[in-house]
Amino acid sequence: MKTHAQVVVIGGGVVGTSVLYHLTKAGWKDVLLVERAELTSGSTWHAAGGMHTVNGDPNVAKLQQYTIQLYKEIEQISGQSCGVHITGGIMLAGTRERLDWLKMAKARGRYLKMDLELISVEEAARLFPLLDKKYFVGAMYDPIEGHVDPYGVTHAYAKSAQIAGAEVVRHTRVVELKARPDGTWDVITDKGNVRAEHVVNAAGLWAREVGRMVGIELPILAMEHQYLITGDMPELVGKKEQLHAIDFEGEIYLRQERGGMLMGTYERAGVPWSPVTTPWDFGQDLLPNDLERIAPSLAVGFQHFPALEPPGIKKVVNGPFTFAPDGNPLVGPVRGLKNFWVACGVMAGFSQGGGVGLALSRWMVDGDPGADVWGMDVARYGDWTTLAYTNAKVRENYSRRFRIRFPNEELPAARPLRTTPIYEKLKAAHAVFGDYCTLEHPLWYAPSAEEAYDEVSFRRSNAHPHVAAECRAVRDAVGLLEISNYGKFEVRGAGAAEWLSRVMANRVPAVGRLALTPMLNQRGKLIGDFTMCRLSQENFFLIGTYAAETYYLRWFERHPPPSGVSVRPCAMEYTGLAIAGPKSRALLQSMVRDDLATSAFPFLSFRRMEIGMVPAYVGRVSFTGDLGYEMWVTSDYQRALYDLLTEAGRAHGLKLFGGRALNSMRIEKGFGNWAREYRPIYGPFEAGLGRFVDFRKDDFIGRAAAAEEKEKGGALRLLAFRVAARDADAIGDEPIWHRGKAVGWVTSGAYGHRVGASLALGYVPATLVGENDGFEIEIIGERCQATRLAAPAFDPSGALMRQ
């Protein structure tokens, strides 16, 4: 084994070998993979090897497409067969809701250029004769599905990497990782030490333990997973290989395995394996079967596919593999550590391993993953992911693997965990809560406790009329919204303004003012959107997306402020309340000594005020697009502020409103949100944020690329649409059609209650900017006419928020 390497990859499963291969492909040849036992000695060896392209996150779906296409390449380079069987697959729907879900999945596949097809039950039975038609109402066919040989794939990656110069050492365990002051690592193994510039944790089943070697607790947990193989079936003799099948209602997947069928299930009562520590002596072992646990799924399986029962069960496999709380991988550099990377929590290694390797290798070599990997970025999780939280969420995710998540469905595990001081008060006001990074926040308010629940649906739900009333109250009087669920940062010290000026694209505001600003990477793409508030010369308060807090901090670490300037995350130290609507000024004025007239406290002002006895930061801004104020207080004051506002608000017709109404109103204004309209694949001009990029500043990160985008116009454009929808509004990821061609995708949609229309925001090619007509948006399989809005649907001139 060499003693120096540019990169040491820990783990020789399908993921580690893919990372190794992609690093060599990107030109880094001095790379070493260290494997504890033989290659595949974690989850990989006993995997069912199934692969598919469909994923709830379109960006992850793209990486899955890439993975499947890659197998030919590594077979050719290595001479090692991957045992690829592309059989095609069907997803079977047993309910109308599931059929709706399939229609949406098919629609989403359109702009990913996936060749998905909705088929009747008759057609499904023709393609997959083992099913009993009476249990199904329709299906979707995907020609690009199949399975591979896990051993073959892993060795093909490893050999391809070795041919390009990589070294692979087996039977060598990494036992310790020591960071050196220069950012390099001492990788201590049981066979000697290696000095590495970079370390990649691709340790699969042991990734959590390898994380602990560097002091981090990665949010991953292994679950036991069982599949069985039936005895030989006469129905399969002399036939073409059977398709892959997913039976959502049965919560099972099937494929042919030699003369029998393989049937696996994600049972509801899933069991974690080694919840605290994974034993190092676990090798190519299997866990004891527990057929009783999966008996309910098996019973449904034998009912829906009767030919599987008579041949009996020939073999049962029970093996562990790891999941993150949302079921997507954890990839990327880890905040707080230099040159330490992860590629773990990959629950579908044979669909995702290639994409993970590609993204990580680009990140390491080019400093950027080259694609939108927010959905699998390790930084999407913050400090809230304790061991017990991860345990609860992974179990929930596992049990729901084949269940529908409706757009208005809030999942119950690990809740309520974090609450703000006014939680009980809002509950008493019949709030229906959502969970955002473990913090409970109000979504909407029901008229009574009995009605305070969501009827989950793809269509307008029971919340619709109540959200409408909340929006009307904001339009006509004044509404009160809890806004605690934002990320907040204090930036202080001599040089703070200069640092912010370099990191943010907009002009740093004057004292007493706030500015909205995009944050760009060097490629001029959006990696954040902030409200930058200036309290004094060198004292700033930043407000951004809480879910991206770790992501932002990682970026700030790579672009650190000068000494003397501190950047402190303080999200949960400050809670917030916002009021919006024409009477909001009169309401706040009744409680403060400051003059709130526009001449004294104009739009985008920011100041410390005393609201009664409560010291608060007050910003004159509202995400609803109305006259409005955001008030930030340390959490100990929130209760008092809430009481003051609700008491004084009575005289002004104050009504509580929640996140659903806010979403509707911000879409009426065309205001974007992080992870929807704003993501690292869009530039500020494409996203309609060009006016917040200040080219009068000499230098800021992404300036040159943003200037080029401005000059050339960018490839895409975010547009707003009024949609002739019937009973369901766009929610995001629907295709946008133009004159019969799928040209773009929706990022957000909602019913605009203040304007009485269904609305959507989405990206289309910039060449279509001049077009107003000919657009359609496909909602649950129905193409609805969409009219492009040249100006925001609500208050197009913006006069209301400035009044």
Ligand X SMILES: Cc1cc2nc3c(=O)[nH]c(=O)nc-3n(C[C@H](O)[C@H](O)[C@H](O)COP(=O)(O)OP(=O)(O)OC[C@H]3O[C@@H](n4cnc5c(N)ncnc54)[C@H](O)[C@@H]3O)c2cc1C
Residues at the site binding ligand X, with contacts judged by CB under 6 A: 10-16, 34-37, 41-44, 46-51, 173-174, 202-206, 210, 225, 227, 317, 319-321, 344, 346-351
Nearer to ligand X by C-beta: 158 or 730?
Answer: 158
Take residue 401 and report the two structure tokens written for it.
Answer: 């693997």
Distance CA 122, CA 99 (A): 15
Going by the DSSP 8-state scheme, the letter that residue 377 receives in this structure is B
Which of 50, 752 has the CB closer to ligand X? 50
Q: Which is nearer to ligand X, 321 or 445 (CB)?
A: 321
By beta-carbon proximity to ligand X, the closer residue of 48 and 627 is: 48
Nearer to ligand X, 46 or 110 (CB): 46
Residue 634 neighbours by CB distance under 10 Å: 14
Q: Which is nearer to ligand X, 204 or 762 (CB)?
A: 204
CB of 531 closer than 8 Å to CB of 671: no
Which of 122, 147, 165, 121 is CA-nearest to residue 20?
Answer: 165
Q: What is the crossing angle of helices 14-25 and 349-366, to 10°?
A: 40
Q: Which is nearer to ligand X, 39 or 760 (CB)?
A: 39
Residues 6+ apart with CB under 8 A from 424: none
Closest CA to 233 of 164, 130, 334: 130
326-339 burial, b for 16+ CB within 10 Å, e for fewer? bbbbbbbbbbebbb
**Helix, strand, coil share (%) of the chain residues, nearest 5:** 30, 30, 40
Q: Toward ligand X, which CB reaches closer, 44 or 184?
A: 44
Radius of gyration of the chain (CA): 27
Question: Least distance from C-beta 139 to ligand X, angstroms?
Answer: 20
Output the DSSP codes for 587-625: HHHTT-SS--STTTS-TTBEEEEEETTEEEEEE---TTS
As measured in angstroms, the least distance from the Cβ of 286 to ligand X is 9
- Helix 659-669 / helix 464-476 crossing angle, nearest 10 deg: 60
Residues in the chain: 803
**Nearest approach, Cβ of 309 to ligand X (angstroms)?**
22
DSSP state at residue 674: B
- Nearer to ligand X among residue 107 and residue 200 (C-beta): 200
Q: Where are the alpha helices (DSSP H) in 477-631?
A: 496-503, 549-558, 584-589
User: Minimum distance from CB of 294 to ligand X (Å)?
Assistant: 12
Could you check whether the bond before residue 275 is cis, i.e. omega within 30 degrees of 0? no
Q: Please, which residue, 37 or 417, has the CB nearer to ligand X?
A: 37
Closest approach, Cβ 232 to ligand X, in A, equals 21
**At closest approach, how far in Å is the CB of 214 from ligand X?**
12
Nearer to ligand X, 317 or 640 (CB): 317
**Smallest separation, CB 403 to ligand X (Å):** 18
Cβ atoms 41, 283 nearer than 8 A: yes
Strand 486-492 with 539-545, pairing: antiparallel
Which 3 state secondary structure label does DSSP give 693?
coil
| Coil, strand or helix at 556 | helix
Q: Is the CB of residue 649 less than 8 Å from the CB of residue 429?
A: no
Q: Provide, rounded to whole angstroms, the least separation between the CB of residue 210 and ligand X.
A: 5
In the 8-state DSSP scheme, what is residue 586? H
Pick 319 or 524: Cβ nearer ligand X: 319
* Residue 154 CB, nearest approach to ligand X (Å): 8
CB of 530 vs ligand X, minimal distance in Å: 35
Minimum distance between the CB of residue 278 and ligand X, rounded to whole angstroms? 9
Q: At what angle do helices 14-25 and 150-163 cross, to 10 degrees?
A: 30
- Give the shortest CB-764-to-ligand X separation in angstroms: 34
Distance CA(651)–CA(255), nearest Å, equals 66
- Closest separation between CB of residue 105 and ligand X, Å? 18
Tell me the C-alpha distance between 244 and 348, whole Å. 15
* CB of 159 or CB of 679, closer to ligand X: 159
